[in-house]
Structure 1
Amino acid sequence: MNRIFFRFFVLVMLSITAATFVIYFAFARLFGDPLDDIARRQAAAQIFLLEQYVDQAPADEWLTRLNNVREVSEVRYDLLPLAQVRARLGQDHPELERGAIVIDARERAFYRRVDLRGERYIGSDDEVLVARNLPVDIGQALKMEALRYVIVAIALLVPIALWSRAHWHSLQALSRMADEFGGGKLSARARMRPSATVYPLAERIDHMADRIEALLEAQRSLLHSVSHELRTPIARLEFGLELLDARAQDPDLHRRIAAMEGDLRELNSLVNELLDMSKLDSARTLQPARVDLTALLEECCATLPPSPHAVACELDGSLGEIDADPRLLARAVGNLLRNAQKYAAGRVLLSARRGVDGIARGIAGGIEIAVDDDGPGIPEDERERIFDPFYRLDRSRDRATGGFGMGLSIARKAVALHGGSLRAETSSLGGARFVIKLPPA
């Protein structure tokens, strides 16, 4: 956000600078160089003396009056050939050719032809009067011009800064609201005053958030209600199958009933996972407590169902305690371990360590928990989609592996409630690697 306004102010300053140069060159083109006007005003006394005293003398006294001025003035007056002055100025000066005064602000001098018809003295039409060491201070004039432009720039920047400050605060409020809403706080709203500069945008974002919250709440309510309603017919079917199994005499019928009971158990498991998913959609589910992380991870390994693939543990001794919901965190790690057991060829590894940067600074760093297996792995373009509910890779659709594609989604939601993240990578064992990152305690 700060970058946006930094670029805005840089653009404003560049625009003001460019406008300054454009104004200067436009005025110089249309009305002459402003520095020449300033120098002419500063040399007004010498110009007045020349025009009103020396030039007003009779033709035979013009040089006499010029010499009188030379004696009392600190300005140096010289007579130079016209050709030499033309070469010195280096360009055509129509003012000089028509007998007007030409100011050279940098040299602190002005030039003017004595006359155009040789009336002052013989050859006066071919000579130029040059006045040097004029009391011209261009530096002071430049400072005044710069101060003028600075005042104009400040007059423009102050209202822009005040407007930008209010605009920036409004955008910061929108940014905070977006972060809170994205973090799961669906009740977050901008709620800006109508006088705010971004009020129309904030109002539309609030309306959008209202609709999203209503849709998600309806979806959650529907999922929760349907899951609860399904339990009653499932229980009836289970009870009916048990009665039917007790009365059945045909062995083939017993096998069919057993298969149906298996399907009902699978359906009941799906309902339970749907209910768990609906509960995880709310941060109110979290019940944090002080947890010994090493003991929790060891318990996750110990409570796994029997499997031909044993889980190896590599737990850092500096794990210590963290603030977490032990039930949800254990559920997330357990889901990852069971998923690894399904697809591992022979090895499953659970590892955990604290962030190295935090330990180096003497503070508690973030926690990194990883589950590795040596199975077939996960294609890179599928590593985000596997966390979607009910999504399963092609090789996992075989009913022999079990599951509904809910375990990874539940694990990610449980980790997100702790302020952490869960991602899939390639394991050094050759299969998949799931990494949980929890913030510092």
Structure 2
Amino acid sequence: MNRLFWRFAALVLLAITLATGAIYITFSLLFGDPLEEMARRQAAGQIFLLEQYIDQAGADEWLPRLNKVREVSAASFELEPLAALLPRLSARQRQQLLDGDIIIDVGGKGFYRRVDRDGNRYIGSEADLIHASHLPINIAQALGMEAIRFALIAIFLLLPIGWWTQRHWRGLLSLSRMTDAFGQGDLSARAGPRQPSSIAPLAARFNQMADRISQLLEARRDLLRSVSHELRTPIARLEFSLELLREQHGADHPAIPRRLNAMGSDVEELKTLVNELLTLTQLDHPSALPAQPLALAPLLEACVAPPGKASYSLHLAPQLGQIQGHARLLTRAINNLLGNAAKYANTQFSLSAMRAGEKIFIHVDDDGPGIPAGARERVFEPFYRLDREQDHASSGFGLGLAICTKALQLHGASITISDSPLGGARFTILIQDI
């Protein structure tokens, strides 16, 4: 059964329990203890015998009739002093007894009543009471019957609730599967509960939201793709023109080659930006990238550390095992991190990996200036760059870490930034090997 039903069931049972307690307290305040009323009904035969047989006798026949009842009845009828019982009664019961009413003793399976108030039964009868005991009072049976009654009520309430919650739960599961699929990149996923379903209006609004998000993402991807492709043509023409200028005018003036080289660097930068944008848009279609088993250690060993002034070291723990993933994308993500570390490292940077159960940790460390704690979330956003002179002086467009994050998300992995033991920044990749 679904969790929704069990929550409803718990609420129904709690409501019945509270209602039972409230009914008992209310009836006790208004009409007396309901348990006493149950016991009175069970002792109705002995009460009838006392009131309609013994009490109907005259003064000289009252005691003989009482004795006859004692002989033939399984119940016990005894005469006791009134004064001995009064201190043990509540004020309400004491007044009822003095008025001649019957007082039920539930625990003792009996009842008390004054013989009379005028001394007409026998001499001193106004100071005595009659105590009937060993009566057929069984409160446990009565309570069991009440429990069965409430259990049947609960069952007949829970049956329609169970039927309704089952349909409601199936609709919620369908909606949950749709949101999970949509969140994982399947923009065609839609909720489909039938119209009579109680969550159909909510599902319709989810579908409307999904349609709008899908249209916006498609428009964004189409724009980036179109702009990137369109930029390649003028970039190619610029490259061709630069080559012609080098051939025709490169030797005319010594400053011209430097300017042509600078323009060539700018063109290469534009080409890199276009390629990065195309890679970023490609990662929005994970279904087109089939996963396969990957041996992690050879993949990390094949990652290329870019040349630079800092030294590079690799530390891999044994038995890293395999993961399911995309070799090209995972290599690209690691290489982006290594390139970032090489760019900011002063003297050294490193790549290390270890396994802890089903978790694989990959660390990229450097001894550079590090990343401020307040910017460690934002550096993964596209085109975000730290407001530091060193960052503005370095090449790049702020897309490397964004591409790295998307590539890792396709592997169900996460990436965090912390302080490195080397003194700079540590990028930690956590892969769940499921």
C-alpha spacing 1:105/1:414, structure 2 compared with 1 (3 Å): same
CA RMSD of aligned residues (A): 2.2
SS of equivalent residue, structure 1 residue 307: coil
Q: Who is 2:265 aligned against?
A: 262
Question: By how many angstroms is 1:215 displaced?
Answer: 0.7
Deviates more, 1:427-436 or 1:397-406: 397-406
Deviates more, 1:125-134 or 1:316-325: 316-325
Shift of 1:341: 0.2
Do 2:228 and 2:277's aligned partners in 1 also have CA atoms closer than 8 Å? yes
Q: Which amino acid is the alignment partner of residue 316 of structure 2? A: L
Tell me, in whole angstroms, the C-alpha distance in 2 between the residues paired with 1:211 and 1:428: 46
Q: Which residue pairs with 2:430 in the alignment? A: 437
Letter in 2 for 1:294: A
Q: 2:404 corresponds to which residue?
A: 411
Secondary structure in 1 matching 2:388: helix
- Report sequence identity in percent: 54
Unaligned runs of 5+ in 2: none
Question: Within 1, Cα distance between the matches of 2:115 and 2:272?
Answer: 113
Residue aligning to 1:372? 365
Structure 1 residues 71 and 281, CA gap change in structure 2 (3 angstroms): same
SS at match of 1:419: coil
Residues 109-120 of structure 1 aligned to structure 2 (within 5 Å): 109-120=110-121
1:192 alignment partner, SS class: coil
Task: Map 1:174-253; keep pairs closer than 5 Å.
Answer: 174-248=175-249, 249-253=252-256
State how far apart, in whole Å, the 2-side matches of 1:191 and 1:397 are: 53
Q: State the TM-score, normalizing by the size of structure 1.
A: 0.91
**CA shift at 1:9, angstroms?**
4.0
| Structure 1 residue 6, shift from structure 2 partner | 5.3
Q: How is 1:12-27 mapped onto 2 (pairs within 5 angstroms)?
A: 12-27=12-27
Quote the Cα distance in structure 1 between the aligned partners of 2:327 and 2:70: 102
Match of residue 362 from structure 1: none
Shift of the alpha carbon at 1:4?
Answer: 6.6
Assess if the C-alpha contact under 8 Å between 1:307 and 1:341 holds in 2: yes
Assess, with a 3 A threshold, how the Cα gap between structure 1 residues 40 and 322 changes in structure 2: closer, same or farther.
closer
Cα distance change, pair 397–267 in 1 and its aligned pair in 2 (3 A)? farther
Indicate if the aligned counterparts of 2:416 and 2:427 stay in contact, CA closer than 8 A. Answer: yes
In structure 2, relative to structure 1, the CA distance for the partners of 1:285 and 1:409 (3 Å cut) is: farther
**Cα separation, partners in 2 of 1:320 and 1:21, compared to 1, 3 Å:** closer
Of residues 264, 286, 291, the one that matches 1:288 is: 291
Aligned pairs for 1:308-319 within 5 A: 308-319=309-320
Deviation (angstroms), 1:433: 1.4
Kindly state the Cα deviation for residue 403 of structure 1 after the two structures are TM-superposed.
0.7
Q: How many residues align structurally?
A: 431
- Deviations along 1:101-129, one digit per CA (max 9) or x if unpaired, are 22111111111122232222233233222
User: Matches of 1:281 and 1:350 in 2, distance apart?
Assistant: 28
2:413 aligned with 1:402: no
CA pair 115-411 structure 1, distance change in 2 beyond 3 A:
same
Gaps of 5+ in 1: 358-364
Is the alpha carbon distance of 1:287 and 1:151 closer, same or farther for their aligned partners in structure 2, counting shifts above 3 Å? closer
1:6–1:151 CA distance, 2 compared to 1 (3 A) = closer
Three-state SS of the structure 2 residue aligned to 1:312 is: strand
CA distance 1:239–1:399, change in 2 (3 Å): farther
Q: Which amino acid aligns with 2:61?
A: E
Q: Which residue of 2 aligns with 1:36?
A: 36
Match for 1:372: what amino acid? Answer: D
Q: Deviations over 1:28-55 (max 9, x none)?
A: 3233322222211211111111111111
Q: Does 1:389 align with 2:392?
A: no
